[in-house]
Amino acid sequence: AVCSEPVLGTLLSSAETAPTGNRVPVVQVDLGGRSLNALVDTGASDDFISSAEVNVLGLSPQSSEWSQVTLADGGKHPILGRVTLSLGVGPLRITTQPYVLQELTDAATYILGSSTLRQYGA
């Protein structure tokens, strides 16, 4: 699909400062009529979502080719599976397949990683 405005501009135009006070881009995304905080993380290879959000959506993670991921803090975390989602980001609607982790950062319950940013031309 062709977007009428650059994806990165759309993402960052709604970016806020995370509640932690760190200057990281956090955007509001619409997921099934719910508004979530999503961290735009160019250092993350893929997208991630918390298992709590997956449970609220009533989804069951599908098996994943990966069993664990190493996060920025160096800790290894088990991957619980993968889900397919349609996110609303401003005027854009994007399809993602985030890996499900037990928990994420306090600033966000979703991480938009570089794979999705590249896929949509950001």
User: pLDDT tens digit string along 77-113?
Assistant: 999 999 999 999 888 899 999 999 998 877 789 999 9
pLDDT tens per residue, range 54-81:
999 999 999 999 999 988 778 899 999 9
Query: Taking the domains of the chain in order of start, what are their residue ranges?
Result: 7-119
Fold of 7-119: Cathepsin D, subunit A; domain 1 (2.40.70)
pTM of the model as a whole: 0.80
Distant-in-sequence, close-in-space partners of 45: CB < 8 Å, separation ≥ 6: 113, 114, 115
What is the four-CA torsion angle of 117, 86, 96, 55, rounded to 10 degrees?
A: 130
